[in-house]
Chains A and B, each alone.
Chain A
Amino acid sequence: MAERPDSPNAGKPATPEVEVPEEQIVHHVSNRKKRKKGVGGEDMQLQMTSMIDVVFLLLIYFVITANFTIDEGTLLATMPGNSSQDRPEDKLDPPINIDLTSADDGVTYSIVVNGQRINNATDLAGFMKNRVATAQMAKDDIVQIKPQGVVRWQHVVNVFNACVSAELENVGFAP
């Protein structure tokens, strides 16, 4: 509390001055600021530099190994010439052919299944599902996709995907 200027002790020191030798003065030492001494008497400190090194290293690792191919997935297909597509002796039915032809604009295409025209890949999936459901074909019947050379890959994979969606198990490309 501050001393009032009109008090009798105004201008005088609050306590009488006593000479205290310097070595007897005890300074308060904060425990918080006191550094622990290591075995060899060295200061113990947290090494931020190496920690940051490692953290950056991990960061770089995870950034790089993160999925590069987001949005990409795959369809399992047998290639032309794969012997598993050879017709076994007991399968006397000829393979089901899906003919793909491209229109002049190169963008549109048409699908013909054993002579029957289908509008698009979604309809093809429905058509094949229906044929399996009505026992007109079995799921493991050999289905061969026969695209014309000028048909774009987009359409070929789309038709293949439609057959996979119809749960057909033996779909391949004609050699």
Chain B
Amino acid sequence: MSQVTKRGAVEPKLNITPLIDVVFLLIVFFMLVMRIVTDELPPIQLADLDNPNVYPPEGDRRVTVNIVPEAEFDGDLGPGKSVGEVLSRPGQAEFVTIGNKKWKLGEDGAMEDFRTFLEAAIRSRMDGPNVAPNIMLRVDAAVYYAQVLPVMTNLQLAMAEALGGELAAATPVHLVAYQGKDK
């Protein structure tokens, strides 16, 4: 804002307030975007259970492993679809992902890379030396079990490496499914 002095000259001044407003806005924006990128969840159609016995996990520290199918579900994602409709697609999985990092299933060295990355991710999300993060497994309902099994085995190996045998044995993995209408 400028000011007219007695002599009539204009003295320019920098108004800091809106500048700080905008800078804070940008800081918050980038912080949130970073968080979204690390927690990125691919859109997949999860398992829809009969009488679901599932609950939202407690705690914010999470490592989420996703298994994405080759053929995405054609329609709005969510519970209440018929099993026939959900499973009408082929069950080949294409990628396993953690955040924005993805590995193509069946590629040489993909599982080894995945395990190394997962170990580091689990270590970085630990809440103290003996507190494991929530490890989530989000798999599309149509995927064949044969493609989930190696991911689960590597998940257990990575947990054993990152957490140590005892803590890894005591740490369950969260299988993600729809809660259903009644919960």
Contacts and interface: CB of A to CB of B under 8 A. Distances in A.
Interface of A: 49-50, 53, 57, 60-61, 64-65, 68-69, 71-84, 100, 106-107, 120-122, 125, 147-154, 156-158, 160-162, 164-165, 173, 175
A60 B143 CA distance: 36
A4 B148 CA distance: 100
A105 to B, nearest CB: 9
9 contacts: A57-B28, A64-B36, A74-B56, A74-B175, A75-B54, A82-B168, A148-B145, A152-B87, A158-B50
- Interface size class on chain B is 35 or more
Contacts of B21: 50, 53
B86 A154 contact: yes
Contact of A77 (B36, B49, B172, B180): B172
Given A50-B17, A165-B53, A151 B144 contact: yes
Contacts of B119: none
A175 B153 CA distance: 8
Contacts, number: 166
Given A149-B146, A153-B139, A173-B152, A72 B176 contact: yes
A60 to B, nearest CB: 7
B10 interface: no
Q: Which 6 A-B pairs have the closest CB atoms?
A: A149-B146, A73-B54, A74-B174, A154-B141, A79-B156, A76-B172
